Structure 1
Amino acid sequence: MVSNRKRRADETPSKRDLEELSDFRYKLRRFLHFSEEVVHAEGITPLQYILLLHVMGFPGRDWATVGELAERLQAAPHGTVALVSRCESAGLVTRVASEHDRRQVEVHLTPKGARCLFKLAALHKSEIDSFGWTFSNLADR
């Protein structure tokens, strides 16, 4: 993919490029549709699932700050705070004042949030595996 990023914006993509982009977008949309269905069936929203995933999936630890979650979600901090509040009300996460910096709030999964995340992540992993190279080797292209 890195070499494709060097392509000039005014360079016309080839037919093969368009086919690959179309196929990728189709598979991505199929995956997102699958994700929306299984997440709603579990009783949470897609954004709540993504927040749980980013909390537990943060590199090197099993919690994240609101600022880190905002970056991962590519969302405004105040919107992320509102999402954390909804997850907290649903019993999925808890907020803990940081021991190192009292100005920061750590977001941790509750046991209920962890059970929900692991169940949904297993379903998502199985679906991603069904795509083969599309997701596993995308960074190598």
Structure 2
Amino acid sequence: MTPDDDAFRDGEHDPEPLSKREFEALARFRFGIRRYLRFSEEAVRAHGIAPQQYQMMLALKGYPDREWASIAELSDRLQLRHHSVVELVNRAQKQQLVERAVHPDDARMVRVELTEQGQRILARLSAMHRDELKHLGSMLTLPTWDDRGR
């Protein structure tokens, strides 16, 4: 518990209340996020992949300006602890989804890269995710915050 928690409970620094329209928009957005996440979890599991493995593979393929990432970079992208990412990479490597390679400029750094099999699975799953996002459409539109609905 922090001092800010006490201030929140005591009503100090109360944020501006939401209108009914804002509650509805926020609830619709939250529902859309949860529905998308459930779809994602079910789709990747149906392909024999754990949801975090898919997220890791996507982080690798989507890493800016290159096709690999270090464990530390994956830790940041996935918001996981270093040792958790090491275990995630170990499991994905056993499934031949990723491979480790020594960085050519720094032998202390390990590069994590997708294998050809990992590339194929990621391409299929990501296309499914894109199509689901198109289907969800306005459900995932960020709520607008204005005073007009009050």
TM-score w.r.t. length of structure 1: 0.87
Q: Secondary structure at the match of 2:106?
A: coil
Question: Would you say 1:56 and 2:37 are equivalent positions?
Answer: no
Gaps in structure 2 of 5+ consecutive residues: 1-12, 146-150
Q: Measured at CA, do residues 72 and 17 of structure 1 come closer, stay the same or move farther in structure 2, by a change above 3 Å?
A: same
Identity of matched residues, % = 42
Maintained 8 Å contact 2:22/2:144: no
Question: Would you say 1:126 and 2:127 are equivalent positions?
Answer: no
Cα deviation digits, residues 87-135 of structure 1 (max 9, x gap): 0011100001111111111100001100110000000000011122454
Indicate the residue corresponding to 1:101 in structure 2: 106
What is the aligned residue count? 133
Cα deviation digits, residues 14-44 of structure 1 (max 9, x gap): 2222111100111111111111111011011
Q: Where in structure 2 are the equivalents of 1:1-141 lying within 5 Å?
A: 10-135=15-140, 138=142
More contact order relative to length (CA 8 Å, sep ≥ 6): 2
Distance 2:28 2:109 in 1: 42
Distance 2:33 2:105 in 1: 40
Q: CA deviation at 1:67?
A: 0.7
Distance 2:90 2:144 in 1: 38
Let me know the Cα RMSD of the aligned residues: 1.9
Larger Rg: 2
Letter of the 2:118 counterpart: G
Q: CA deviation at 1:11?
A: 2.2
Cα deviation digits, residues 29-78 of structure 1 (max 9, x gap): 11111111110110111001001000111011111111111001001011
Maintained 8 Å contact 2:102/2:110: yes
Gaps in structure 1 of 5+ consecutive residues: 1-7
